[in-house]
Amino acid sequence: MSPEILQVGRLSPGGEAKIHAAFNVSLLADQHNQETFLKTDGHRFHGLITIAPLGASQALMSRLPNLKVIACRGIGLEKIDFNYTRTHGIAVSWTPDVLTDCVADIGMGLIIDTARGISASDRHVRAGLWPKGVFPLATKVSGKKLGILGLGKIGQAIGRRAAGFGMEIRYHNRNRLIGCPYAYEPSAESLAAWCDFLMVAVSGGAHTRHLVNRQVLTALGPKGFVFNVARGSVIDEAALIEALQSKTIAGAGLDVYENEPHVPKALQGLDNVVIAPHIGSGTHETRAAMEGLVLENLQSFFSTGKLVTPASKD
């Protein structure tokens, strides 16, 4: 018989159809009483499908005593309890690389939209304000100084795109990259002080929580913009709201938030911020590739005991 899989979080209809055709999958969201279901049926499941924003907590995994593998759609691993998976011999897969281009595209889109005021000007026109006066001047994008906080694969892809706009680029990582063509800044604060646009592309987790704090935003300055395509936890959201309201910084473009899917009302009321609903990987092509990897990992694990894209966390 096909291994039984528990699915937490929904996938695209096409991705779900292919995975459900290959395995016996139960959707946790479909259960009338999830706690009772996990208590009575949790032992049935040898695999778990999840998505990065939900992850896999110790509380969930402890109700799945026969769990052998987790297949996560996404690259955010901070909500998977790796102490528990290591202790209990549970393999974990993720979907790296296939979403790099789309997330980098959103990063550049946020830069252009926020600096040039595209969304704000759209609201201006729709509100019937154009006949009453011209839209305020915005900020040029080409030739600006871009600071990339986290020069991993996504950060590098953003750098390649930014180079096409004639931007000068510097970066900050925990460690300097050998052979990197960009200048290195020793801290997030010094990077913010140097750049016009600060792009956040680091991984989430405790080690980067509120890495972009009040001091970093102050260093960015009243003409500077911050953009986040990483995790909402990386930016101190209260400090960001304060900086936007007081014009300590010029603006922000955000695709992620501290308490998704809940976005603070204060952010929603500001015109110098673009707020997107975590759509970095949200294209038909990329989601198909990500969910294809979820399926490949499950098939490989249950047939060979090995994962195609194994994940680990330091």
Each residue's pLDDT tens digit, 249-269: 999 999 999 999 999 999 999
- Choosing from 73, 161, 231, 287, which is the catalytic residue? 231
pLDDT > 70: what percent of the chain? 99
Query: What is the mean predicted confidence (pLDDT) over 117-133?
Result: 97
In the prediction, which pLDDT does 314 show? Answer: 59
Three-state helix/strand/coil letters over 31-99: CCCHHHHHHHHHHHCCEEEEECCCCECHHHHCCCCCCCEEEEECCCCCCECHHHHHHCCCEEECCCCCC
Catalytic residue among 10, 160, 176, 260: 260
Assign 2 a pLDDT band (cuts: 50, 70, 90).
Answer: confident
Task: Give pLDDT tens digits for 199-226.
Answer: 999 999 899 999 999 999 999 999 999 9
To which residue do tokens 């939900």 refer? Answer: 54
| CB 120 within 8 Å of CB 136 | no
Q: What is the pLDDT of residue 312?
A: 81
- Strand order of the β-sheet with 24-27 is 24-27, 4-7, 47-51, 69-73, 91-93
CB 76 within 8 A of CB 204: yes
Mean pLDDT of 51-80: 96
Q: For residues 212 and 234, what is the distance between their CA atoms, to the nearest angstrom?
A: 6
Instruction: Examine the residue annotation and report whether 260 is marked as an active-site residue of this protein.
Output: yes
Distance separating alpha carbons of residues 94 and 280, to the nearest angstrom: 16
Span(s) in the chain for CATH 3.40.50.720: 4-96+284-304, 100-275
Token reading at 219: 């260093």
Q: Torsions phi, psi of 259, nearest 5? A: -125, 55
Residues contacting 262, CB < 8 A, separation 6+: none
The pLDDT tens digits for 282-295 are: 999 999 999 999 99
d(CA 60, CA 33): 14
- Given 63, 170, 278, 287, which residue is catalytic? 278
Domain 100-275 has CATH 3.40.50.720: yes
**How many helices (H) does the chain have, and how many strands (E)?**
12, 12
CATH number for the segment(s) 4-96+284-304: 3.40.50.720
Instruction: Check: CB of residue 276 under 8 Å from CB of residue 106.
Output: yes
- pLDDT level of residue 130 (50, 70, 90 thresholds): very high
- Whether 231 is catalytic is yes
CA distances from 185 to 78, 90, 111, 182, 192 (A): 26, 38, 21, 10, 9
Q: At which residue do the structure tokens 């960009």 appear?
A: 182
Check residue 206 and report its DSSP letter.
G
What average pLDDT does the structure give for the chain?
Answer: 96
Rounded to whole angstroms, the Cα distance separating 19 from 11 reads 10
